[in-house]
Amino acid sequence: MSYAVKECYLTVQGEGAQAGITAVFLRFSGCNLWTGREKDRAKAVCQFCDTDFIGTDGPGGGRFDNAKELARHVASFWPQSDEDKAHAWVICTGGEPALQLDESLIQAFHEAGFKVAIETNGTLKLPQGLDWICVSPKADAPLVQRAGHELKLVYPQIENKPSDFVELDFEVFSLQPLDDSEQAAHSQAAFEYCLAHPKWRLSVQTHKYIGVP
């Protein structure tokens, strides 16, 4: 199988339960909930997406013929000083990474010394072997992946309320303020919701505050 990658780079995870870890971010092209083009936003299942996942022209992006080739590409971003790769993570995101991430690629990442995380909308069945599963439900899209390490909900959403998900099988429940023109109000609302419902952790997108990818 070949893989289409929008971008790939070394950064620090800025949000959710793994905030602060150094990782290679691997953003796959394509999504199953909308095309990524503004002209189609009104028809999209997820209308608040702010990510460019079209094509392969981003930094570190490209097309890769097989899993080992892509794993070598990801490994090239990891600091050479970290000889044992004890803390090496690759975070697979998108778009929707589950459209392309498969068991062969997960195995290739593991052989290259990486733990593998996915940030998914949860509407597709996931491959075996993942080390961290973060599901972020979108609008009223049917949720297939109902268990994992973290459920990260953008708040507020008209269609999705935190109470809709608290009985699912996740270790961590994160609430992330919707980033739009009303972001300050959304942040206050998410803060107050977490105070009243301590099962939820507040997830702040720290990478946007410090101006890094």
Q: What are the residue boundaries of the structural domains of the chain, listed by start?
A: 3-210
Query: Is 50 annotated in the active site?
Result: yes
Identify the helix (H) or strand (E) that includes residue 133.
Answer: strand 132-135
Model confidence pLDDT, tens digit, residues 108-149: 999 999 999 999 999 999 999 999 999 999 887 899 999 999
Fold (topology level) of 3-210 = TIM Barrel (3.20.20)
Is residue 169 annotated as involved in ligand binding?
no
Per-residue model confidence (pLDDT) at position 126: 98
User: Catalytic: which of 7, 8, 28, 46?
Assistant: 46
pLDDT value at position 52? 81
Active-site residue flag, 8: no
User: Which DSSP state fits 176?
Assistant: E
Which residues of the chain register pLDDT less than 50?
none
- Nearest Cα to Cα of residue 190 among 161, 166, 167: 161
46 carries an active-site annotation = yes
Q: Which two tokens stand for residue 89?
A: 């993570």
d(CA 189, CA 171): 23
Integer-rounded Cα radius of gyration of the chain:
17
> CB burial class (10 A; 0-12, 13-18, 19+) of residue 139?
middle
Instruction: Provide the pLDDT for residue 47.
Output: 66
52 assigned binding-site residue:
no
14 in a labelled binding site: yes
Q: Where does the chain have alpha helices with state H?
A: 67-75, 103-111, 183-196, 206-210
Catalytic annotation present for 49? yes
Question: How high is the pLDDT of residue 53?
Answer: 86
| Residue of 8, 25, 28, 186 marked catalytic | 25
Residue 64's SS3 state is strand
Task: Check the annotation: does 51 bind a ligand.
Answer: yes
Predicted confidence at residue 1, as pLDDT, reads 87
Q: Are strands 169-177 and 200-202 parallel, antiparallel or unpaired?
A: parallel
